[in-house]
Amino acid sequence: MTVDPKQAIAAINSYFGSHPGFRALHAKGTLLKGTFTAGSEAASLTMAAHMQGDAVAVTARLSNGSGNPDHPDYAPDPRGLAVKFYLPGGSRTDIVAVTTPRFISRTPEGFVELLAAQGSGIAAAWKLPLVFARHPEMVRNAPALAPSLRPPPSYAAATYHGQHAFKWIDSGGGERFVRYTWLPEATEPRISMREARARGRDFLRDDLARRLERGPIRFTLELQLAAPGDPLEDASAAWPNARQRVRVGSLELTDHETGRETGGDVLVFDPTRVTDGIECSNDPVLQFRPKAYSESVALRTS
Ligand code: HEM
């Protein structure tokens, strides 16, 4: 089976319901603004404009993965951190990451079939085993990823993973494949489901407002560097933990962003919106995402 973006959105809506005006996934989110400043190692790894050391303005969106905008913050869910960097000269580039360390499925088909089966009511009982049989990586990933769906104590204290591989090209023509992780500056103990529920439906959103009153929310961008033989086109497969890691910059979120998504402004975070010095891999999930996002954007803005 090959899926198209319309089928993907239909499957997403079958599971989460249709919520006009909202993103088909990650419907509930909070926009923040701030800056990103690359550290000294970044420029030796890529000629990308935001990695040369000067602070660049960003818009970030912290979100819950559900397509239901009323989904309570205490429910299990991947959380998202999407960052848009405003580059000198007026162009933009995005990094879109989630709290699950890798993707459930190697292909868009696996993900869409999973959602369609889960959204099929009582028929899910016999459909799900067939989907898992067709996409065996999901049998391994579903239980392994479940803990990362637990509600974090704060969006600001969670780790977010870009999952896909991107090629970083330096000014001398040197190339390497990397994966992104945003490491939080804030560290807080994990909370139980019961504690999360006690904190309320919007506790993650409310916590952001309280934190910003005290000062900026910070994350460090860390790269994991691929070694020969590591899967470059499969976001469902981890690279060995021992791979070299390099910290390339810091994100500082200082306030709510109130200037975007008002008065008809459309804000889209697209992981394939790269810039000179960074290239996408041929990961089929990465290549499919912008098509599904465009379909969601067309629906949420119509
Ligand atoms: C086949 C796989 C996927 C599909 C079909 C899909 C679908 C979607 C859709 C329809 C949206 C809403 C877009 C919009 O209206 O702007 C969305 C948002 C998002 N997705 Fe995905 N997605 C996929 C994979 C991923 C992966 C692998 C990640 C993380 C590495 C991810 C992270 C996010 C995040 C963080 C957002 C929210 C962006 C924002 O705040 O605007 N997605 N996704």
Q: What CA–CA distance (Å, rounded) separates 169 from 16?
A: 39
Number of domains making up the chain: 1
Residue with tokens 């998504």: 261
pTM: 0.98
User: What's the 284 CA to ligand 1 centre distance in angstroms?
Assistant: 14
User: Among the atoms of ligand 1, which is closest to the Cα of residue 98?
Assistant: 29
Would you state the pLDDT for residue 55?
A: 98
For ligand 1, atom 29, name the residue with the nearest CA: 97
Ligand 1: which of 33, 71, 289, 296 to mutate, most ligand atoms within 8 Å of CB? 289
pLDDT-based confidence at residue 143 (cuts at 50, 70, 90): very high
Q: Tell me, using a 6 A CB cutoff, whether residue 285 lines ligand 1.
A: yes
Q: Tell me, using a 6 A CB cutoff, whether residue 182 lines ligand 1.
A: no
Q: What percentage of the chain reaches a pLDDT higher than 70?
A: 100
Instruction: Tell how far CA 170 is from the center of its chain.
Output: 25
Q: What CA–CA distance (Å, rounded) separates 48 from 16?
A: 37
Q: Tell me, using a 6 A CB cutoff, whether residue 67 lines ligand 1.
A: no
How would you label 223-241 residue by residue, b for 16+ Cβ within 10 Å and e otherwise? bbbbeeebbbbbbbebbee
Residue 135 a catalytic site member? no
For ligand 1, atom 23, name the residue with the nearest CA: 289
pLDDT value at 247 more than 70? yes
pLDDT digits (tens, 9 = 90+) for 73-111: 999 999 999 999 999 999 999 999 999 999 999 999 999
Check the CA dihedral 130-133-137-140 and report its sign.
Answer: positive
Catalytic residue, chosen from 26, 50, 135, 164, is: 26
* Tokens coding 11: 């499957």
Q: Tell me, using a 6 A CB cutoff, whether residue 178 lines ligand 1.
A: no
Show the domain range for 239. Answer: 5-301
Q: What CA–CA distance (Å, rounded) separates 20 from 297?
A: 11
Q: Which of 161, 28, 12, 179 is nearest to 96 (CA)?
A: 161
Q: What percentage of the chain reaches a pLDDT higher than 90?
A: 97
Identify whether the C-beta of residue 63 lies closer than 8 Å to the C-beta of residue 79. Answer: yes
How would you label 282-295 residue by residue, b for 16+ Cβ within 10 Å and e otherwise? ebbbbebbbebbeb
What is the domain-level CATH number for residue 77?
A: 2.40.180.10
Q: Tell me, using a 6 A CB cutoff, whether residue 106 lines ligand 1.
A: no
Rounded to an integer, the average pLDDT of 150-175 is: 98
Average pLDDT, the chain: 97
Rounded to an integer, the average pLDDT of 133-158 is: 96
Would you state the pLDDT for residue 162?
A: 98
Would you state the pLDDT for residue 97?
A: 98
Q: Which of 277, 253, 240 is nearest to 91 (CA)?
A: 277
Instruction: Give Cα separations from 17 to 24, 68, 115, 183 (angstroms).
Output: 9, 7, 12, 32
* Tokens coding 255: 């306030």
Would you state the pLDDT for residue 1?
A: 67
Alpha carbons within 13 angstroms on the beta-carbon side of residue 81 total: 31
- Those residues whose C-beta lies under 8 Å from the C-beta of residue 134, and which sit 6 or more positions away, are 110, 113
Q: What CA–CA distance (Å, rounded) separates 244 from 226?
A: 8
Q: Tell me, using a 6 A CB cutoff, whether residue 166 lines ligand 1.
A: no
Q: Tell me, using a 6 A CB cutoff, whether residue 97 lines ligand 1.
A: yes
pLDDT digits (tens, 9 = 90+) for 14-73: 999 999 999 999 999 999 999 999 999 999 999 999 999 999 999 999 999 999 999 999
* Tokens coding 194: 């019961």
pLDDT value at 220 more than 70? yes
User: What's the 296 CA to ligand 1 centre distance in angstroms?
Assistant: 10
CB atoms within 10 A of CB 201: 15
Angle (CA) 101 183 82, round 5°: 70
